[in-house]
Amino acid sequence: MRYSGFRILQQALTGQKGWTPAWRNPDPQPHYDYIIVGGGGHGLATAYYLAKQFRQSRIAVLEKGWIGGGNVGRNTTIIRSNYLLDGNEPFYEFSLKLWEGLEQDFNYNAMVSQRGILNLFHSDAQRDAYIRRGNAMRLHGADAELLDRDQIRRDYPFLDFDNARFPIKGGLAQRRGGTVRHDAVAWGYARGADQRGVDIIQNCAVTGLRIEDGRCTGVDTTRGFIGAGKVGVAVAGNSSRVMAMAGMRLPIESHVLQAFVSEGLKPVLPGVITFGAGHFYCSQSDKGGLVFGGDIDGYNSYAQRGNLPVIEDVAEGGMALFPGLGRVRLLRAWGGVMDMSMDGSPIIDRTPVDGLYLNGGWCYGGFKATPASGWCFAHLLATDQPHPTVTAYRLDRFARGLMIDEKGVGAQPNLH
């Protein structure tokens, strides 16, 4: 069923009785050409683009719980492409371009809102670094704009511009950045993939990868063995656990990242703002809640919940930037498990096992990457060649000294 304004009117006049489920709930077949492990944003996007863009068929997505129940439902919904390094910026810009046409492409309202993202700076040195990053972005075709205090004051008059330690000196804006309704991304891709014949199999956990003569021939699951021509793993947060089934150790640690939402307020924040002197970022959801977050907790964790010291740290960052935040009550806090890679950048690559492909290591930047990650992973699965924007996201880049360390802190995942 195609969604449109006409359809809404028609259903309104006929008692809303004609809506059908957005995707089927099929039983697994014994064999598929492609199995995608992980029914999150990236896995569903991969299946969608495999079917739509690369015209492949006989595709299944296996999900241990329900689709969109992992990090695509636990993030802070921000999209942007404000990276510095050559290995990163073209990929994230490709992703932002896909976001811009996504809703028309998969015929689903994902509430893509290009309300802009603003990175504040608080010192001369930081301004220089932001100018450099803005120039790098523009060289790759992205938009970037340096704003001074007065320009920022127009949109954000309530910020603490003259904070004694961290006065706001200006900011780097990317006006094409913004927010997206995160769950709708998973649902939109799932619906689009399902319409093109992809089997989305929920409550089907992969318990083993079957490897014969160095080739992956299928997966053992809680619903029996399913054979596959190619297996793509897109389970960021749990990549190490799944790839351990193939005897691999990844350059990844799993860490917990917390996020927060306040009670609903009238519109106050027009876009996304980030604090430059601590780790704090904030936007306002369409329901009115202030959605914000900061650092990871900093120790290995699969717990999907964090501890109080980081909540305190995030709150302190928020108060330094945005003193009015102290009058707002916190509604919810939650945690998600991140694949923190050793250089802070993702991996989309073949593995030493034939027919087994990995998409992971997204650190805490996975949501904005969802469309391009799916597209590029589908490209790799369908053609066995990396998409031009992900040639740097190799699994062997650590051994070859070709790390993409945006932050420049080395092989210490809790600092990325």
Partner 1 sequence: MIINHPLLGPCDAQEFTYLGDASLLHRPDGMAEGAEAAFVDYAYPRENPAGLHRELWFHEQGDRSWLVVTRDTVTHEITQVELASDVARREGRSR
The count of residues in the chain is 416
Contact 134, 103 (CB under 8 A): no
Nearest in space to 356 (alpha carbons), one of 224, 211, 193, 199: 211
Applying CB under 8 A, the site for partner 1 has a residue count of 24
The residue among 103 and 297 lying less far from partner 1, judged by its C-beta, is: 297
CB of 248 to partner 1, least distance (A): 8
Tell the smallest beta-carbon distance from residue 412 to partner 1 (Å): 7
- β-partners of residue 106 are none
Angle made by CA atoms 388, 241, 299, in degrees to the nearest 5: 95
Regarding 242 and contact with partner 1 (CB under 8 A), the answer is no
Residue 240 interacts with partner 1 (CB under 8 A): yes or no: yes
Dist CA 342 CA 339 (whole Å): 10
The binder of partner 1 chosen from 250, 272, 282, 381 (CB under 8 A): 250
CA distance 89 to 140: 7
- CB under 8 A: which stretch of 214-222, 235-243, 264-272, 352-360 binds partner 1? 235-243
Which of 252, 348, 356, 380 lies at the binding interface for partner 1 (CB under 8 A)? 252
Q: How far apart are CA 293 and CA 75, in angstroms?
A: 9
Q: How far apart are CA 79 and CA 284, in angstroms?
A: 14
Residue from the set 101, 167, 197, 309 that interacts with partner 1 by CB under 8 A: 309
Question: Which CB sits closer to partner 1, 63 or 93?
Answer: 63
Is residue 205 part of the contact set for partner 1 (CB under 8 A)?
no
CB of 408 to partner 1, least distance (A): 16
Tokens of 52: 């739509």
Residue closer to partner 1 (CB basis): 101 or 247? 247
Element (H, E) at 216: strand 215-221
325 contributes a contact to partner 1 by CB under 8 A: no
Binding segment toward partner 1, per CB under 8 A, in 115-123, 323-331, 353-361, 405-413: 405-413
CB 361 within 8 A of CB 369: no
Q: Does 414 bind partner 1 (CB under 8 A)?
A: yes
CB-based burial of residue 397 (10 Å sphere; 0-12 exposed, 13-18 middle, 19+ buried)?
A: buried
- State the binding string over 370-399 for partner 1 (x if CB under 8 A, else -): ----------------------------xx
> Is 411 a residue that touches partner 1 (CB under 8 A)?
yes
- Judged by beta carbon, residue 51 or residue 250, the one nearer partner 1 is 250
The reply to whether 38 sits near partner 1 by the rule CB under 8 A is no
**Between residues 194 and 253, which has the closer beta carbon with respect to partner 1?**
253
Q: Closest approach of Cβ 302 to partner 1, in Å?
A: 4
Pairing relation of β-strands 330-341 and 78-79? unpaired
Residue 132 amino acid letter: R
Q: How far apart are CA 338 and CA 130, in angstroms?
A: 26
By the rule CB under 8 A, 238 interacts with partner 1: yes
Determine the interface stretch with partner 1 among 185-193, 221-229, 243-251, 358-366 (rule: CB under 8 A): 243-251
Q: Which residues, 6+ apart, have CB-to-CB distance to 25 below 8 Å?
A: 200, 202
Task: Determine if residue 384 is left, alpha or beta; phi over 0 gives left, psi from -120 to 50 gives alpha, anything else beta.
Answer: left
Whether the Cβ atoms of residue 254 and residue 240 lie closer than 8 Å to each other: yes
Q: Quick check: 241 binds partner 1 (CB under 8 A)?
A: yes
Is 375 within 8 Å of 45 (Cβ atoms)?
yes
- Which of the residues 288 through 307 are near partner 1 (CB under 8 A)? 298-303, 307
Position of tokens 């299944």? Answer: 60
Q: How far is the CB of 327 from partner 1 (least distance, A)?
A: 27
> How far, in Å, CA of 145 to CA of 273, rounded?
14
Identify the residue among 188, 251, 293, 318 touching partner 1 (CB under 8 A): 251
Of 43 and 413, the one with the shorter C-beta distance to partner 1 is 413
Q: Which residues bind partner 1 (CB under 8 A)?
A: 238, 240-241, 249-254, 298-303, 307, 309, 342, 398-399, 411-414
